Structures are given as structure tokens and as C-alpha cells.
A and B are shown apart, each in its own frame.
Chain A
Amino acid sequence: MGAAFLELRGVSVDYETSRVLDSVELGFARGRVTVLLGENGSGKSTILKVLAGILRPKKGGVFLEGKPLEKLPRHEVAQRIGYLPQAFEPFFPARAREVVVLGRIPHLRGFASAGPEDYRAADEALEEADVLPLSCRNIQQLSGGERQRVLLARVLAGKPEIFLLDEPTSNLDPRHRLKVASIMRRRAEAGGTVIVPTHELDLAVQAADDAVLLKSGRVLCAGPLKTILTPANLEAVFGVGARLFTGPEGLAHVSLFLDTQKARGEQEPGLPR
């Protein structure tokens, strides 16, 4: 997956008595979108939390440019890594713009409040996430999808190099899914590292460069998407049959079948290389 910029080395994580990540070794390069794929509870979100420094692994560690993450200054890590959680329930009323500008906290020094530059970054992020018209709305009253885009804008406003986005399209309508996919691609093309756990295989094949397949807290395989996303691997991870094809519009698609035999019957070998 290219020269590793961000790495997990021998990471194991336990929740109470059960092991949720087991000796995970992964590297993430600059300029790449990587999707983490696996069943519910396979450890996708846990990997993201370890990379964000939220969870401390029981064994192993996270390395950014070869340096242990916990040895780097907190504000530097906060400026370089942006994290979007899977769910968020706001308990107090706040305008969308006020939430988005909180993404600038890592850039504020001393007791300084957010200034014009921070609000400019927030407005740019609101526009990019297509939520600028909602900037004066109470975040508590937004729909799940609108709130998800506002929170994505909060990450974008921080202008990080590494984007850890936990299922960023799970509540979105088709148009906004595509928009978010294009944001992810733009960030990668600008040299960013984008890591996205998702269940949306079409999003994966259309937006990602690399894929990591996870099964019960272990890495089944990882590498360039086209070599990883094969029917055999998808069957091994999800227990479903898969057919991968290129549509007439030139985009890659994945069809899934509960009946694995049916999928095998009309199988293409994988994505066009």
C-alpha cells in the first residue's frame, strides 16, 4: 500500500475479557484512500480509535512517520489527524457553524478565541460538505444525514493530513454519498491519508485505492483494492457471494448474493485491473 506514513505495529486491543484486535500490522500511505471492510464487530472502528489515539492498545503501537504517536505533542497530533465518530448526539443547542468551528480548536493558541481565519475555514468546510445553507440551524434539529455532513465539515475545517472517517456515508442520500466520496478523493489527491471503515462496497470500489479486510479482529488481507476486493475474499469475510463488474457508465460495481453458488455461476474474475 505504498510507503507507510501511519502504521499500526503489532496492535492488540482487549475490551474487558474479549480480544477485539489481534496483532494487527497495517501501514497507510500518503495520497491514498483506504477502506476497512469487515462484518459488524470485526474491529474496523476499533482500528480507527487506536489510530486516533482514543484507545491505547494492550500490545503494539501507532507510529506516525516512524515516531510513536504518544510521544508526539498532543496539539501536533490533533492538527494532523482528524477523526469523525460513527455517532454523535448533541445535548445542547448549537448552530451548525458553531459546531464546525470547534474543528479549529487544535489551531488555537493560549486563550485565543476562534478568529476570522477560523470562521473562514469553517465556512469553506460547510460549503464543501454541502451544508452551508444549514449553518444557522440548530444541530439538534437536523436529520441524521445533515448532522453527519456538518460533523464531516467539522473535520474538514481542521485541515488535517490524516482523515479517520467512521462510516461517513451511512446516513446519506445517494447524491451526498457521491459528494463525500469525491471529498475523500480530493483529500487523497492533495496528499492526505484517508481511512474509512464502511459497509458500502460500491463506495469502496469507486473511491478507494486500498482495502483492508478484517475478520474477528485480525487482518485477513490488505493491499491495493483491485487485488483485495475479489469474490473469494468477500465470501471469506462476509459469507456472501459477490459479483464485481464495470457498468456501462464505466464505474465499478459490486453485487452481493446470499446464495454463493449463484454468484459463482456468473462470476467475472474481479475488478478490471
Chain B
Amino acid sequence: MVGPGLASGRARAAASGVLLCSVALLVLTAVAHGTVPLSPSEVLDALLGKGDPVTAAIVRDLRLPRALLGVLVGGALAAAGASLQSLLQNPLADPFLLGVSGGAACGTLLASVLGVLGTAGAFLSPLAALAGALLAVVVVGLGAYSQGTLDRGRLLLSGAIVNSLASAVILLLLSIGSPDTTRGFVFWMLGSLSSASWESVSSLALYGGAGCTLLIFFSRALDAFTLGEETAHTLGIQVEQTKRCVYLGASILAAAAVAHAGIIGFVGLLVPQGVRLVVRDQRSVLVFSFLSGAVLLLSADLIARWLFSPNEISIGAVTALVGAPAFLYLMRRKV
């Protein structure tokens, strides 16, 4: 069934407001929750620079950057997934399943092992990740290209192959690193916000902003893609330019998210699916996906921190536990 949709601007504004409040509430919950539990008033005092200096440091230097990184990572992954699904007209397209995240992880790890990131790692690692992500996009595209078009079935298969290749390269790189470095990388790779800092938040805001701007710019073109590429062309859309720019925008978002939080699957797959039940035009799909992705990732992070507290499990494990069965369901329904 097609959902009732949010036809009026007022309904959309109300829905955006609800999502924004949910994000704010989850950020506050994430900041309050931890090995040192904090009350809402303590959190508020710390945010305003008042109260106990230790509490202020915990909130402002550790937990707030982590929560904000969660917002940006979830938003970036969901927006990337929403754009790839529209571009490829494939409800199962997702940066993780298409090998983009795997390529980005390879790029980050390779740059790190080669020691080319230096002191500006937070800002340079997304670039290394982007190089890996774009390489993955090209390889997946070549694998799926058949008879002048991208074959939908082959695309996922090609993504799986690139993911396997990326895993092999990552294992190779990890095996030549020191045990300490390897442990850190493994935890990062499985998806974690534990390395959050204000630098990583600023970096992701910068790259995420660039990626989202590009995708918003091409949102009308992606609306036309719902009628097929040929019809989109007759509606005045520059089809090839749209494809290149949307791949680039989605890769920037996915790469920046992977560089700072590792591989977190299924956010980009599931969130846009739900969002499309209430909004259909691509601009709204992007905005709603970003906010809903933030909600999903913050929730997954809270679960990852709470489930075996004080130990923390990877967010990738939480999203996969929910995402894999949902993916199976969607695949049976749509392919």
C-alpha cells in the first residue's frame, strides 16, 4: 500500500518538527547515559558551562561530540541510501550493500597504515575514504553493466563481490599492523562512535554538508528518474551529469561517515524505505531520511552502550541484527 503521504507543507513541517524533537531528546538521553549517569539538570548545567567541572568535561568533551557524531553519521548514511535508491531505481540499494562503505573503509585504513594522514587526520581521512568509495563505485558499476544498462540483480551481486574484496584488503592491512592498532581498527571497522571528538564532528559536518548540498541540488532530477532514465531525459534532465553527481554526493556522505564511525550497515537501506511511505518527492525524502537516520543511529548507539554496560558493543552489530532480517524480507518482496 502507498501511505497516506504528507501532502501539505504544514503536515511536513509538523512531521519534521516531531523528528527534530526526537533527535534532540535522543541527544540529551545519549549525553545523560553512561558509566556516570547524569540528571537532566546536570546535563543542562554542563552544557551552559555551569556546575561541576568534571561533569562539564564529560558532557562537553566526550558525550556531546559522540551524540552529535551519531546524528551526522546516521543522517549521512540514510541520505546516501535514499539518493542511491532513487538513482538506481532499486529499493535495495544502500552504501553498505553496494560496497561503497567497504571501499571507504579500505581507503581510510590504507591511508592510516601508510601514515599519510598526519595531524589533520580527522579532515583528511574522509578524503582517503572517498577515494576508496569511488573506486568501489566504479568496480561495482563495471560488474553490473550489461547490455548498455546497470542490471539490478547484478548490482547487488557486484556489491557483495566488492565487499568481499574490501574485507580481504582490510584483513591484509590489519595483519601487518601492530596488535594495539589492529584492535582499535577492528572496533572502528565494526561501527563505533567511541572515537568521537569535536574535530570529527566538524569534519563530518563539513563533508556531510557538501554531500547533502549536492544531493539536494539534484533532487528534482531524481524525482524524474522515478519515470525511468529515458523519460527523465525527455523532461529536460541531464541524465549522465545527474548520475555522476549523485554517485559523488552519496559517496562523500558514506565515505565521511565510514571514516569517522566505521562500517555501519542497513541504515541507508531501511530508513528511506520507511520515509517513502509518508513522503515521495526526493527533497523531502532526503530531509526526512537524514533526520530519521539520526534517530535510528542514536538509538542503536544507546542500545550498543546499554546492552552489556559498562562494556560497549559495536553499533554495526545492532543495526545488522535489525537490518539483516528486514533486508531479507524486502528482498523477497521486491526482487
Stretch at the interface among B68-76, B170-178, B228-236, B242-250: B228-236
User: Which of B5, B231, B281 is in CB contact (< 8 Å) with A85?
Assistant: B231
A94's nearest neighbour on chain B, judged by CB, is B280
- Least distance between A217 CB and chain B CB atoms (Å): 19
Contact residues of A with B, CB < 8 Å?
A: 49, 52-54, 74-75, 77-79, 81-83, 85, 88, 90-95, 98-99, 102-103, 105-106, 108, 111, 113, 137-138, 140-141, 154, 158
Proximity string of chain B (307-326) to chain A, C-beta cutoff 8 Å, 1 when within and 0 when not:
00000000000000000000
B284's nearest neighbour on chain A, judged by CB, is A113
A36 to B235, CA, bound (A): 23
A91, B89: Cβ atoms under 8 Å? yes
A106 to B91, CA, bound (A): 26
CB contacts (< 8 Å) of B237 on chain A: these are 105
CB contacts (< 8 Å) of B224 on chain A: these are 102, 105
A85, B228: Cβ atoms under 8 Å? yes
CB contacts (< 8 Å) of B90 on chain A: these are 91
Answer whether residue B227 sits at the interface, using C-beta atoms and an 8 A cutoff.
yes
Answer whether residue B151 sits at the interface, using C-beta atoms and an 8 A cutoff.
no
Between A and B, 24 residue pairs with Cβ closer than 8 Å are A49-B230, A53-B233, A74-B236, A77-B236, A81-B234, A83-B231, A85-B230, A91-B90, A92-B89, A93-B1, A93-B2, A93-B276, A93-B277, A95-B5, A95-B280, A98-B281, A99-B227, A102-B224, A102-B226, A105-B220, A137-B2, A140-B2, A141-B1, A141-B2
A154 to B231, CA, bound (A): 11
CB contacts (< 8 Å) of B51 on chain A: these are none
- Interface size, B (range): 20 to 34
A106, B235: Cβ atoms under 8 Å? yes
CB contacts (< 8 Å) of B228 on chain A: these are 85, 88
* Interface positions of B from 223 to 274, Cβ below 8 Å from A: 223-224, 226-228, 230-231, 233-238
B91, A74: Cβ atoms under 8 Å? no
A92, B276: Cβ atoms under 8 Å? yes
CB contacts (< 8 Å) of A102 on chain B: these are 223-224, 226-227, 235
Q: A94-B226, A95-B2 are in contact. Are A88 and B231 (CB under 8 A)?
A: yes
A264 to B1, CA, bound (A): 54
- Least distance between A142 CB and chain B CB atoms (Å): 11
CB contacts (< 8 Å) of B235 on chain A: these are 78, 102-103, 105-106, 158
B281, A113: Cβ atoms under 8 Å? yes
- Least distance between A101 CB and chain B CB atoms (Å): 9
B236, A90: Cβ atoms under 8 Å? no
- Least distance between A88 CB and chain B CB atoms (Å): 6
User: Which of A88, A113, A138, A141 is in CB contact (< 8 Å) with B227?
Assistant: A88
Answer whether residue B3 sits at the interface, using C-beta atoms and an 8 A cutoff.
yes
- Least distance between A206 CB and chain B CB atoms (Å): 27
A28 to B181, CA, bound (A): 71
CB contacts (< 8 Å) of A52 on chain B: these are 230, 233-234
CB contacts (< 8 Å) of B277 on chain A: these are 93
A140 to B86, CA, bound (A): 16
B276's nearest neighbour on chain A, judged by CB, is A92
* Interface positions of B from 185 to 232, Cβ below 8 Å from A: 220, 223-224, 226-228, 230-231
CB-CB nearest 5 A-B residue pairs: A78-B236, A138-B2, A93-B2, A83-B234, A105-B235
User: Which of B3, B5, B238, B334 is in CB contact (< 8 Å) with A74?
Assistant: B238
A102 to B281, CA, bound (A): 10
CB contacts (< 8 Å) of A94 on chain B: these are 2, 226, 280
